[in-house]
Amino acid sequence: MFDIPIKILKFLPPELAHSFSIQALKYLNLKYDNINDPILSQHILGLDFPNPIGLAAGFDKNAEVISSMFSLGFGFIEVGTITPLPQNGNPKPRVFRLEEDKGIINSLGFNNKGILKAKKNLIKFKSSSNKNRIVGVNLGINKNSTDSINDYLFGIESFCNLANYITINISSPNTVGLRDLQLRGKIENLIKQVVLKREKIDSLTKIPIFIKISPDLNDDQLRDIALISLANNIDGLIITNTTINRPNNLLSKNKNFKGGLSGKPLFQASNKILKKMYNLTNGQIILIGVGGISSGSDCYEKIKSGASLIQLYSALTFSGPSLISKIKKELVDLIKTDGYKNISDLIGKSV
Ligand SMILES: Cc1cc2nc3c(=O)[nH]c(=O)nc-3n(C[C@H](O)[C@H](O)[C@H](O)COP(=O)(O)O)c2cc1C
């Protein structure tokens, strides 16, 4: 039923359509899609995931519509990116649909209402009957930050007793210098301080820490990140954020806008990185596969390429909210047809 408004929203500029959607989702009283075949459930890092499909960061930047997004059938939701202070992001227009390619280019630049506001929203969500639902918080840095590490540490301090996991986002292409934090000298220091902070705040429960990486890293950079993550007990890697590359076969006239490309044109590139990381980490770190997923068979391929969990965003804007239930059904069929007992049996099978 909600796929009809999606057709109308397509006539609006994408950022306006997104704002309308957020406002509508705040007030719609959606019924939960709680149908999760047990074949899709996994216990990972102390958390019970009813299904492996998560909402990727960027849709609910301020933790405003978590409840409604769960109603669509997601197994977990990642809110953010959240920065310590509110900020407007880059000048508009900064989101472009590539309709023919089923892709999106965005150069938003961490527009968000800041940690205080998001924290309030998350407290409200968790204090209703939603304690067991898995919500991750994706952290970033302010554009004018003079101490990026401190921005992340403040984020951890703010959310570690509230979120189910924390994502350190060092891969958005729209904040100058951010992606350099992925490079050897910088990432080691960052990860060490992040892990130390977690230890200091909460040495017993240890909230899982994920690092979100770019699809544009070379083999040496991937190896460095794998080794540093293994050595410092990072719990998960989210693979991947958007790409600054443009595949040659893009059709849309919007293909040359500046920013990060997501959706279908990112699928193969992010899978390649996923497989490499699975090999580099010997399957010892949980991988979350993101990039271009729009069907059950896309999920299947990501999981076979090494992902334990997956996330999506762009396909939701093209296909509408019934997509998640559809993907879950397709995924269950694929798993049963191939004779697996649980989704976890296929992790890394094609690497
Ligand atoms: C409009 C838009 C905004 C995004 N904002 C964020 C963000 O704030 N933080 C982040 O880590 N990723 C952000 N992303 C990236 C997504 O989380 C995801 O990694 C990427 O879009 C690939 O998945 P997809 O192809 O399913 O969209 C954004 C993506 C889009 C399309």
CA atoms within 13 A on the CB side of 102: 16
Phi-psi region of 326 (alpha: psi -120 to 50; beta: other; left: phi over 0): alpha
On the question of a cis peptide bond just before residue 243, with omega within 30 degrees of 0, the verdict is no
pLDDT at 99: 94
CATH number of 3-346: 3.20.20.70
Rounded (10°) angle between helices 114-127 and 148-159: 20
Ligand 1 neighbourhood includes 54 CB (under 6 angstroms):
no
Supply the residue whose CA is at minimum distance from atom 23 of ligand 1.
Answer: 291
What is the number of the ligand 1 atom nearest to the C-alpha of 241?
A: 19
User: What is the distance between the alpha carbons of residues 197 and 157, in angstroms, rounded to a whole number?
Assistant: 8
Q: What pairing do the DSSP bridges indicate for beta strands 47-49 and 134-139? A: unpaired
Q: Backbone phi, then psi, for 3, in 5-degree steps?
A: -75, -15
Report CA(240)–ligand 1 centroid distance (Å). Answer: 9
What is the number of the ligand 1 atom nearest to the C-alpha of 80?
A: 8
SS3 call for 47: strand
Supply the residue whose CA is at minimum distance from atom 22 of ligand 1.
Answer: 291
Cβ-Cβ contacts under 8 Å for 270 (sequence gap 6 or more): 215, 239, 240, 243, 289, 290, 291, 292
End-to-end CA distance of the chain: 39
SS3 call for 139: strand
Element (H, E) at 237: strand 236-239
What number of residues does the chain have?
Answer: 351
Q: Where are the domains of the chain?
A: 3-346
pLDDT at 1: 43
Ligand 1 neighbourhood includes 320 CB (under 6 angstroms):
no
Any catalytic annotation for residue 172?
Answer: yes
Rg over CA atoms, the chain:
19
Q: What pairing do the DSSP bridges indicate for beta strands 309-312 and 286-290? A: parallel
Which contacts of 142-145 are long-range, i.e. CB under 8 A and separated by 24 or more positions? 142/83, 142/84, 142/85, 142/87, 142/110, 143/87, 143/109, 143/110, 143/175, 143/176, 145/83, 145/84
CA atoms within 13 A on the CB side of 142: 17
Report CA(57)–ligand 1 centroid distance (Å). Answer: 6
Supply the residue whose CA is at minimum distance from atom 26 of ligand 1.
Answer: 312
Ligand 1 neighbourhood includes 175 CB (under 6 angstroms):
no
CB 212 within 8 A of CB 169: yes
**Furthest-apart CA pair in the chain: how many Å?**
54
pLDDT in tens, 252-276: 999 999 999 999 999 999 999 999 9
Which of 171, 172, 214, 319 is labelled catalytic? 172
pLDDT at 184: 83
Query: At 107, which amino acid appears?
Result: S
Report CA(139)–ligand 1 centroid distance (Å). Answer: 13
Ligand 1 neighbourhood includes 104 CB (under 6 angstroms):
yes
Ligand 1 neighbourhood includes 319 CB (under 6 angstroms):
no
Ligand 1 neighbourhood includes 241 CB (under 6 angstroms):
yes
What is the number of the ligand 1 atom nearest to the C-alpha of 311?
A: 26
Element (H, E) at 263: strand 260-263
User: What is the distance between the alpha carbons of residues 237 and 289, in angstroms, rounded to a whole number?
Assistant: 9
Q: Which residues of 57-66 are buried (b: 16+ CB within 10 A; e: fewer)?
A: bbbbbbbbbb
Mutate to test the pocket of ligand 1, among 105, 242, 243, 299 (most ligand atoms within 8 A of CB): 242
Give the pLDDT means over successive 10-residue stretches in the chain (351 positions).
64 88 84 85 97 98 94 95 97 95 96 97 87 94 94 95 95 87 87 93 84 95 95 96 97 96 98 98 96 98 98 94 93 96 96 88
What is the number of the ligand 1 atom nearest to the C-alpha of 294?
A: 26
